[in-house]
A = this chain, B = another copy of it.
Amino acid sequence: MLSERRLEVLRAIVQDYVGTEEPVGSKALTERHRLGVSPATVRNDMAVLEDEGYIAQPHTSAGRIPTDKGYRLFVDKLAGVKPLSTPERRAIHNFLDGAVDLDDVVGRTVRLLAQLTRQVAVVQYPSLTRSTVRHVELLSLAPARLMLVLITDTGRVEQRMIDCPAPFGEASLADLRARLNSRVVGRRFADVPQLVQDLPESFEETEDRGTVSTVLATLLETLVEEHEERLMIGGTANLTRFGHDFPLTIRPVLEALEEQVVLLKLLGEAKDSGMTVRIGHENAHEGLTSTSVVAVGYGSGDEAVAKLGVVGPTRMDYPGTMGAVRAVARYVGQILAES
């Protein structure tokens, strides 16, 4: 176990390094922080911290920089979540209140997060399976062609074409539409499969039964498809702040960010409630081993319907970033609840 002062030294190192982006030495530390001890003492502490793997030297005769393990300790034990300033809060409200629909909410959230944290922002659309059904609509576009429209309580709209084996009478269609709605409206999408399982059997005319099955099949398919998980990213220009050496660093990050699958997995690994911080090598993906991910769930109620977060260099301002992410998530939740 590390002594109180050693933890304090680690904290100081992290703070300075995040601020200056340069390895920090013992002398500079004592000058910029009131540690109450001399550089020599700090040197001893640093040696211990290095032995334990919390900090490292890029090369001999340079200062120390925190390792992933060091950041981990910092985040877990030493850092709080820095609340946003009043102007920042106001900015969030002003900016998000103007949104007109879900796409707009998500788009604004991404831009806002990117701007507040000066990092890459990732926002997942409210997941279908965790939302509840507000309305199901079946539109007849052509004799044997239907469009299925699903509307969630979070304002998300999903549509899918259905080619029916046979034409569908307007009356049967209205009937099916009504039955569908009466069964599923207000229910969670995850529960829909069971709720509609026996629907085809309640139709007596065999001719329609096939069509009903087709419609339901598409409905269920829409629900389970991984395609349902959409997301939006923004602030990639902030990657250029990484460092001077970064051509090699930025490449894999951009590539990872283009793979929605990777990002979804990243967000998926985050805890449902509470904030998750993954630092450097804790991220499974290879291109992201020198980045950290701060993610949190958000939702219209107390339950998370999706996640959002930021991706940035491991050398980031954790308290500030966590504060911004949390504040934005909360307010987006409110917005969704209201709409």
Chain A, 229-268, contact with B by CB distance < 8 Å: what is the 0/1 string? 0000011110110001011001100110110000000000
Interface: A196 (CB within 8 A): no
A175 CB to closest chain B CB (Å) equals 16
Interchain CA distance A240-B240 in the complex, whole Å: 11
Which chain B positions have C-beta within 8 A of A161? Answer: 101, 155, 339
Number of interface residues of A (CB under 8 A): 33
Interface: A135 (CB within 8 A): yes
**B101–A160 CB distance below 8 A:** yes
**B134–A137 CB distance below 8 A:** no
Instruction: Give chain A's interface residues, CB within 8 Å of chain B.
Output: 100-101, 104, 134-135, 137, 139, 141, 147, 149, 151, 155, 157, 159-161, 227, 234-237, 239-240, 244, 246-247, 250-251, 254-255, 257-258, 339
A283 CB to closest chain B CB (Å) equals 17
A-B contact sample (12 more), CB < 8 A, given A101-B161, A137-B139, A236-B254: A101-B159, A134-B141, A137-B149, A141-B151, A147-B151, A157-B159, A236-B236, A236-B257, A240-B251, A246-B247, A247-B247, A250-B250
**B258–A250 CB distance below 8 A:** no
A109 CB to closest chain B CB (Å) equals 14
A102 CB to closest chain B CB (Å) equals 9
